[in-house]
Amino acid sequence: QKEVEQNSGPLSVPEGAIASLNCTYSDRGSQSFFWYRQYSGKSPELIMFIYSNGDKEDGRFTAQLNKASQYVSLLIRDSQPSDSATYLCAVSGYSTLTFGKGTMLLVSP
Amino acid sequence: NAGVTQTPKFRILKIGQSMTLQCTQDMNHNYMYWYRQDPGMGLKLIYYSVGAGITDKGEVPNGYNVSRSTTEDFPLRLELAAPSQTSVYFCASLVGGATDTQYFGPGTRLTVL
C-alpha cells in the first residue's frame, strides 16, 4: 500500500512570507509527483507536477524533489491571503494517483 | 468545453436506498476516476477506468459499482446506502500518461441518514 504523508497543519504565515509545504512518500519506485490546491468546498486543481530531482519553478511556486530521501516540497513565495487553501500532495502509480491528506495553509494579511 | 460535470451536487439518502452519481467529460479523456473525500482525510480512490469497457477497483471499492460504456460517461452506483458512505464524491479524468493533469468535477455532497 503506497503512503503519502503530509503535516495536516494549519500552517500559518503572514502575507509576503514564504510558505513551505512538505510531503514524504513510501514507494521508492514512484516517478511523478503533483501538488494540488483545494479551496474549501471546491474541487482540487493542479498547481505543479515534477518528476526530476531538483527544483521546478512556476511563478511564485517552486516544487522540489529529492527521490533519495523520498521527499517532495512546495514553496510559495510572497504568500497572499488568496493562497489560503489545503494543498494536496499526490504521487503517481500505474494509471492512478495516491493523495496525501493535505496541509491547510492560512495566510494572514 | 464543459470539462468534467457531476450530478447531483447534493443528495440526502436514507439508509438502504440506492442511487447513481453521474459523471461526464467532454475532453475525450481515456482515464476516469471516482474519489471520495472525508473531512481531513484527503482523496481515496474508489474505482477507475482506463477506457470504455474497462474498470478496476481502487483503494475503497466496497459498497460501490461502476460501468464505462462510453468514453464520456462514468457513473458510480451506490447500493444499500450506509452512513459510512456520507462523503464528498469527486470524479476526475485525464488523457493518459504519468505527468498528465487530472481534471476534477465540482463534486457531489452525499449524506446518508
**Looking at chain A, how many residues does it have?**
109
CB A87 within 8 A of CB A102: yes
Smallest Cβ–Cβ distance between A96 and the set B40, B48, B105 belongs to B48
Nearest CA in chain A to B38: A101
DSSP state of A39: -
Give residue B85's pLDDT: 96
Asked if A45 and B104 come within 8 Å (Cβ–Cβ), the reply is: yes
What pLDDT sits at residue B82?
96
What is the predicted pLDDT for the residue at A20? Answer: 97
B94-110 burial: b if 16+ Cβ within 10 Å, else e: beeeeebebbbbbbbbb
Q: State how far the Cα of A85 lies from the Cα of A19, in Å rounded to an integer.
A: 12
Long-range CB pairs of B43-46, under 8 A, 24+ apart, other chains included = B43/A44, B43/A88, B43/A99, B43/B90, B44/A99, B45/A96, B45/A97, B45/A98, B46/B76, B46/B89
Residue B40's pLDDT is what?
Answer: 80
| Cβ contacts of B51 on chain A, cutoff 8 Å | none
So what's the pLDDT on residue B41?
84
Interface test with A, best of B101, B102, B108 (most A CBs within 10 A): B102
Spatial contact of B57 and B50, defined as CB atoms under 8 Å apart: no
**pLDDT value at residue B98:** 56
Q: d(Cα B77, Cα A30) in Å, to the nearest integer?
A: 31
Residue-by-residue pLDDT tens, chain B, 113 positions:
789 999 999 999 999 999 999 999 999 999 999 999 998 888 999 999 999 999 999 999 999 999 999 999 999 999 899 999 999 999 999 876 656 788 999 999 999 99
C-alpha cell at A19: 510558505
Contacts B98 to A, Cβ<8 Å? 31-32, 51, 92
Question: Can you give the pLDDT at residue A26?
Answer: 94
Taking chain A (109 residues) in consecutive chunks of 10 residues, what is each chunk's mean pLDDT? 89 97 93 94 94 94 96 97 97 88 96
